[in-house]
Amino acid sequence: MVPAPVLAQAWRGPRSVNVARFLVGLDVLPFGAVAARSAGELLGATGTADVVDACLVALAADGDRIVTGDPADVRRLVAASGRPVGVRPF
């Protein structure tokens, strides 16, 4: 699964061939007000500033694995969420 804000951060139109390949077989999750509040609370709790990272963690469920280019900040956000979510750098 990929939250919609994550797709927005990565997508650059026709030149996004690798992103399009990555998305094959994945669901793009909508992002509403409840998730937005959760993301904001995570940012406040950690002192981090990347809204898209917080959106990703806000929608992660127990047992999910997040693949990210910023594992340090994402791990801080996951720790603040209190959920068992794995983080793997790419």
For residue range 31-81, list pLDDT tens digits in order. 999 999 999 999 999 999 999 999 999 999 999 999 999 999 999 999 999
Note the pLDDT of residue 90.
85
Q: Which domain holds residue 9?
A: 2-89
Count the domains in the chain. 1
Q: How far apart are CA 34 and CA 45, in angstroms?
A: 17
Could you say which DSSP state residue 25 is in? T
Q: How far apart are CA 13 and CA 75, in angstroms?
A: 29
Q: How far apart are CA 44 and CA 48, in angstroms?
A: 7
Q: How far apart are CA 67 and CA 35, in angstroms?
A: 19
Considering only the C-alpha atoms of the chain, give the largest distance between any 2 of them, rounded to a whole number of Å: 38
Contact by Cβ (8 Å): 58, 40: no
Model confidence pLDDT, tens digit, residues 7-35: 999 999 999 999 999 899 999 999 999 99
